[in-house]
Amino acid sequence: MTIPSSSSPADLGAALAQAWSDDTLLDDTAWSLPDEAAAYAAQAELARRLDWLEPGRAQFWKCGGSSREGALGSSPLPPLRAREVRGLRNGGDFGDLTLIGAEAEIALRLGQDVTPEMAAALVPGQAEHLIDAMCVAVEWLGSRWQRGLAADNTLRLADAQTHGALALGPWQAWKPGHDWANQPCELTVEGQAPMGGIGGHGLNDPAWVVAGWLQIATRGGQTVPAGSVVTTGSWRVATKLAKGARVTARYEGLGELTVRG
């Protein structure tokens, strides 16, 4: 296979925006990015073209990491694909979208506006005072690349980190001091064996991402509005889904969320 020369992040972002709008797939072998910085530049162009971060409107993001020592990965998300679910017939049916996987997650909601100056002073693991509420969430995976999850990592990063949609369960009070490392979590996909266990979040605390997320979200000088939401990384993931399958994310003591793809 011929390796393409590095693509323009602006051109790639524009192509991804068109693919998102048209629900089409791009040939990932025809595109190449040199590094994560270029991927984030393409990601920003995608978000700009589709108006995901309109000033003054609550934003939706994903942010997570595999360990506290490593860098966080992040992406803004499309507001129209973030749905508060109150039942399969009340926001829980995502059959209108092309989805390739599902993750059990915890989402957090911001309780106040955060300016760039406020964000710059935040310390990882010490920003939970900004959290207004939390909920059980399912992040659906989706791809604008023909090879999906087999596409190059930088291309998947540019494509909103392989985001498909975000299902948000009922909001509940944040639990300061909760023992997340020992939190039971189970992801069940219709027709498959449940994936359960204790813990599983790479940072052992969903709130660990808040400082890093807000610093990323404000780096262009923008204020992140109150009510903005960040989903904080996978606890369990399923990448083989039949169309129309029910998916349930369950956190003992915190609730569960059932959706359909």
| Count of beta carbons in the 10 Å neighbourhood of residue 66 | 13
Over the stretch 118-139, which tens digit does the pLDDT of each residue have? Answer: 999 999 999 999 999 999 999 9
Report the amino acid identity of residue 145: W
Read off the pLDDT of each residue in 131-149 and give the average, rounded to a whole number.
98
184 bridge partner residues? 198
Q: Determine contact, residues 20/50, Cβ cutoff 8 Å.
A: yes
Domain of 69, in residue numbers? 55-260
Please report, rounded to a whole number, the percentage of residues in the chain having pLDDT higher than 90.
95
Read off the pLDDT of each residue in 141-155 and give the average, rounded to a whole number.
98
- The CATH code of the domain that includes 178 is 3.90.850.10
Question: Which residue bears the tokens 């589709």?
Answer: 50
DSSP 134: E
In terms of Cβ atoms closer than 10 Å to its own Cβ (0-12, 13-18, 19+), residue 193 is exposed
Coil/strand/helix, residue 224: strand
Confidence of residue 1 (pLDDT cuts 50, 70, 90): very low
Distance CA 231, CA 82 (A): 11
Over the stretch 83-101, which tens digit does the pLDDT of each residue have? Answer: 999 999 899 999 999 999 9
In terms of Cβ atoms closer than 10 Å to its own Cβ (0-12, 13-18, 19+), residue 136 is buried
Question: Does a structural domain hold residue 35?
Answer: no
Question: Does a structural domain hold residue 40?
Answer: no
Rounded mean pLDDT of the chain?
Answer: 96
pTM for the model stands at 0.95
Comparing CA positions, the residue from 250, 251, 242, 255 lying closest to residue 190 is: 242
Q: Which two three-digit tokens encode residue 23? A: 């629900």
Q: Phi/psi of residue 96, each to 5°?
A: -80, -5
Given this model, what pLDDT does residue 5 score? Answer: 64
DSSP 61: E
User: How many Å separate Cα 117 from the centre of its chain?
Assistant: 25
Given this model, what pLDDT does residue 6 score? Answer: 80
Please report, rounded to a whole number, the percentage of residues in the chain having pLDDT higher than 70.
98
Question: Does a structural domain hold residue 90?
Answer: yes
Question: Does a structural domain hold residue 116?
Answer: yes
Question: Does a structural domain hold residue 197?
Answer: yes
50 pLDDT higher than 70: yes
Q: What domain count does the chain have? A: 1
Confidence of residue 148 (pLDDT cuts 50, 70, 90): very high
Over the stretch 172-200, which tens digit does the pLDDT of each residue have? Answer: 999 999 999 999 999 999 999 999 999 99
Half-sphere exposure of 142 (CA within 13 A, CB side): 26
Question: Does a structural domain hold residue 8?
Answer: no
Question: Does a structural domain hold residue 44?
Answer: no
Q: Determine contact, residues 165/99, Cβ cutoff 8 Å.
A: yes
Confidence of residue 4 (pLDDT cuts 50, 70, 90): low
Question: Does a structural domain hold residue 234?
Answer: yes
Given this model, what pLDDT does residue 26 score? Answer: 98
